[in-house]
């Protein structure tokens, strides 16, 4: 079980980073995990700096288990301030690790605190908990970027 509840995860759960809904934002999404009732409201603010789209802010409120709540905090730490392309690459790495059934342990260099979720991959019922905030964020990105193309 120590695999699952890494100290890093518990730290993020007790002291979540970036929590709270903030202005400005271009998209707000509400995602739920229908099997357990975990919920997250997430806002995304993108900016363009020197022609590069940057994740300026991700703000959120939610309720749920330690895994889903800590994951939202790690999401904030991982993507805010990053160019959107790199943030999306972080999402891919995170998702790949979680869906690997424990085969991929993650690279701390590129993933930071997010590698602490490697153990979650061994608990299939909890993978969705960890992915909830990241999928909400991805949805927000799609809404903003597709909105611009329209």
Partner 1 sequence: MSTLQQASGHSIDVERLRQQFPILSRTVRADQRLVYLDSGATSQKPLAVLDAEREYYLTSNAAVHRGAHQLAEEATEAYEGSRARIARFVGARAEQLVFTRNATESINLLAYAFSNTTDKARLGSPRPEGSDRLVLRPGDEILVTEMEHHANLVPWQEVCDKTGATLRWIGLTHDGRLDLSDLGTLVNERTRVVSFVHQSNLVGTINPVHEITQAARSVGAWVFLDACQSIPHMPVDVSTLGVDAVSWSGHKMLGPTGIGCLWATEELLFAMPPFISGGSMIETVTMERSTYADPPKRFEAGVPMVAQAVGLAAACDMLDDLGMDNVAAHDGDLTAYSLERMAELPAVRVVGPTSTHMRGSAISFVVDGVHPHDVGQVLDSRGIAVRVGHHCAWPACRALGVPATTRISPYVYNDRADIDAFIDALASVRDVFGVR
User: Which positions from 46 through 85 interact with partner 1, judged by CB under 8 A?
Assistant: 63-67, 69
Tell me whether residue 10 or residue 142 sits nearer to partner 1 (CB atom). 10
| Comparison of 10 and 52: residue with beta carbon closer to partner 1 | 10
Minimum distance, C-beta of residue 127 to partner 1, in the bound complex (Å): 13
Is residue 141 within 8 A of residue 84, CB to CB? The reply is yes
Q: Per CB under 8 A, does 38 bind partner 1?
A: yes
* Interacting residues with partner 1 between 6 and 25 (CB under 8 A): 10, 13-14
Minimum Å gap between C-beta 82 and partner 1 is 29
- Residue number with CB closer to partner 1 (24 or 34): 34
Given the rule CB under 8 A, which residues bind partner 1? 1, 4-5, 10, 13-14, 35-39, 63-67, 69, 123, 126, 129
């Amino acid at each position: 079980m120590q695999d699952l509840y890494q100290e890093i995860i518990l730290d993020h759960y007790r002291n979540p980073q970036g929590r709270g809904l903030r202005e400005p934002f271009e998209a707000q999404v509400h995602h739920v995990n229908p099997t357990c009732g975990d919920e997250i409201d997430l806002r995304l603010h993108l900016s363009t700096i020197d022609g590069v789209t940057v994740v300026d802010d991700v703000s959120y409120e939610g309720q749920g288990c330690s895994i889903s709540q800590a994951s939202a905090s790690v999401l904030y730490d991982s993507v805010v301030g990053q160019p959107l392309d790199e943030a999306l690459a972080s999402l891919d790495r995170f998702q790949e690790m979680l869906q690997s059934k424990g085969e991929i342990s993650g690279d701390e260099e590129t993933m930071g605190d997010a590698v602490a979720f490697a153990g979650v991959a061994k608990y299939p019922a909890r993978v969705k908990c960890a992915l909830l905030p990241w999928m909400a964020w991805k949805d927000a990105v799609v809404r903003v970027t597709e909105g611009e193309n329209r």
